[in-house]
Amino acid sequence: MTQPQLRSRRQVLAGLGAFAAAAMLPTFRAQANTPAAAGGSAPWLLGLQLYTLEDAPAKDLDGTLEEVAGIGYRTVQISQSYGQSAQRLRAALDRAGLSCPAIHVLPRPAKNSWDLEGDLSRLADDIYTLGATHAVVPAPRYSDALVDALNHPPPGGFNAAKLLGVLKLMGADDWRRTADLMNEKAEILARSGIRVGYHNHGFDFVPLEQGKSGFDILWERTDPKLIDLELDIGWAVTAGQDVKALFHRANGRIRTVHLKDTARVSSNPMDLASTDVGTGIVNWREVFELIRETRVRYLFVEQEAPWVNTSPMKAARVAYAYLSKQFGHAAFR
């Protein structure tokens, strides 16, 4: 990532607030009112995580969604509200013919983002309005020391090395607290038919205590009946993880997947060598064989900076074209 983009993304996460008890939710709701997917009985719906497009949805929501649908995507995952209400977001999705089966929900509050700290009844209402059924937590609950460090970047901002150094302020107990938080909130959200998941990055796999990583701690401590995994392929490969082993370890708990490519494995798991899907080192044939064997339903392309000879929307187009050609349009529609 370039330094300005890296600072921007991490400042969003750094703005997360402290955890507090939340209100009880209404009883279980009926099936989310999601528009019917095109193509009928295909096993997957290929979607786009709108984070890929940076600030384009905030500048022109309708135009951006129309372009995404024009590429061929049928679903999107939303990581922030772009300053819009859930009702306005849903109306824009409907106009574009897109559905939103999953959103990202932060463990601490941040501007224009959904979070687990506030009114869970309102959160459930927003998720229901969007037609989603999956609330994915995209980062652990950062310690206060880490939040403070991220809010005070060094001169010139964070590069990958400096960011990894700061993230080491995240200790094993912080990962345990994240797991406990997710268990508690997932139990409440389940009453509204909402599944909670966790999205990995590269630093999740850094060893912390007795050889265990934050991911190990979180995965062992979360309730498999309540907590799923959104496996980010690119970040896992960047961190040197065996994707096949992760699928098998998950034992059916992977419900959503981020399709991201990387040019290399890195000794720094925050040093993502982003590249167009199909041009990196990810073994996509193996990935899709693993997906076919599991309960995965939703696949979201997500690419991010650095943008090498490309742009966010172009990367989204390249990914769709590559995946459709390799695995057939019928697999995604």
pTM of the model: 0.87
36 class by beta-carbon count within 10 Å (0-12 exposed, 13-18 middle, 19+ buried): exposed
The span from the CA of 80 to the CA of 78, in Å, is: 6
Chain-centre distance for alpha carbon 62: 22
CA-based torsion, 236, 241, 242, 245: positive or negative: negative
Closest CA to 125 of 48, 25, 258: 25
Query: Which alpha helices (H) appear in the chain, and where do they start and end?
Result: 3-14, 56-59, 61-71, 86-96, 120-130, 144-150, 160-167, 172-189, 214-221, 233-238, 243-250, 284-292, 312-327
Q: Can you give the residue ranges of every domain in the chain?
A: 3-13+39-332
Q: What pLDDT score was predicted for residue 332?
A: 64
Is 112 strand, coil or helix?
A: coil
Contact between residue 269 and residue 239 where contact means Cβ atoms under 8 Å apart: yes
CA-based torsion, 82, 134, 326, 286: positive or negative: positive
The span from the CA of 283 to the CA of 83, in Å, is: 37
172 class by beta-carbon count within 10 Å (0-12 exposed, 13-18 middle, 19+ buried): middle
The span from the CA of 181 to the CA of 108, in Å, is: 11
Q: What's the CATH number for 3-13+39-332? A: 3.20.20.150
Contact between residue 14 and residue 150 where contact means Cβ atoms under 8 Å apart: yes
pLDDT tens series, the chain, 333 aa: 333 333 334 333 333 332 222 222 222 232 333 333 333 344 677 999 999 999 999 999 999 999 999 999 999 999 999 999 999 999 999 999 999 999 999 999 999 999 999 999 999 999 999 999 999 999 999 989 999 999 999 999 999 999 999 998 999 999 999 999 999 999 999 999 999 999 999 999 999 999 999 999 999 999 999 999 999 999 999 999 999 999 999 999 999 999 999 999 999 999 999 999 999 999 999 999 999 888 898 999 999 998 988 999 999 999 999 999 888 765 665
Query: Measuring CA to CA, how many Å separate 18 from each of 21, 91, 146, 175, 183?
Result: 10, 32, 12, 15, 17
